[in-house]
Amino acid sequence: MIDPIEGLIEVAVDSIRVHMPTGQHVVILKEKGADRYLPIWIGVYEANAIALKITGITPDRPITHDLMASTLGQLDVRLSRIVVTSLANDVFFARLYLRQDGREVDIDARPSDAIALAVRLECPIFVAPEVLEKAGVLPEKGEEEDDSKAEEDRLAVFRDLVNSLDLPELPDEPKGEGEGGGSN
C-alpha cells in the first residue's frame, strides 16, 4: 500500500527468521497489498524484542523497547510512523516520526529498534520505494496449491535466501548504527 503523501510503501512484520548456520536473525517485512518481502538482518536482542510483542508474550519486567514506549506515552509523545529510508553498503537506515503538541520531529534509528517500537505502539511501518526495489524479494509464482503447501513454498524463498548468504562470523553484540543485510 503506497502512502499518498510521501510515496512510501506500507509494510507489516511478517516473521522473524534465524539463519541456521550462523544463528543470525532476520526480520521479514511484507508489503501490504502485494507479495513483496524485505529481509533485514537484525541483532538477537532486537529480534527477541519484536518476537515477544508479535507473539503476545509479556515479560515480567519491561525490556528496553517497552521502557521507551512507556516513556513516550508518559511524555504525551506519539510515534506516528517509522520509515526504512535507505540502504547503503548493505546497511539499512530508518527514521522515527514523533508528534508532540502539534510538532513533528524525526529521529535517526536502527530499523530493528524502530520496528520494535512500532509493534509496541501499533504505528504504521513504511519503506522507501528505492529500498524495496533494491532489496525486496518476490516469491516465485507457482500453480495453485493447498494452503499448507503454499505457505511452505512462501517460506522456502526466505530459507533459500538466508541460507545462501555467505555471512562472516559476527560477535555477540553488533557494533555500528544500522543493520546490514542488503540482498543485492
pLDDT along the chain (184 residues), means of 10: 72 93 93 95 95 91 94 96 96 96 95 97 97 92 56 60 53 49 46
Q: Radius of gyration (Cα) for the chain, nearest Å?
A: 17
> 184 in a domain, yes or no?
no
Residue 61: inside a domain, yes or no? yes
Phi then psi for 30, rounded to 5 degrees?
-115, 130
Strands (E), 52-161: 78-88, 91-100, 103-109, 125-127
CA pair distance 97, 151, nearest whole angstrom: 34
Residue 57 belongs to domain with CATH number? 3.10.690.10
What is the number of structural domains in the chain?
1
**The domain containing residue 57 runs over which residues?**
9-160
Measuring CA to CA, which residue among 92, 50, 107, 87 is closest to residue 178? 92
User: Rounded to whole angstroms, how far apart are CA atoms 145 and 152?
Assistant: 10
* Residue 113 covered by a domain: yes
The verdict on residue 180 lying in a domain is: no
Distance CA 129, CA 139 (A): 18
Model pLDDT, residue 159? 61
CA–CA dist 118, 122 (Å, integer): 5
Residue type, 41: W
Q: From CA 184, how far away is CA 88, in angstroms rounded?
A: 11
| CA–CA dist 28, 16 (Å, integer) | 6
Within-domain flag for 102: yes
Instruction: Answer yes or no: is 125 within a domain.
Output: yes
Whole-number pLDDT of residue 183: 42
In a domain, residue 23? The reply is: yes
Q: Is residue 2 part of a domain?
A: no
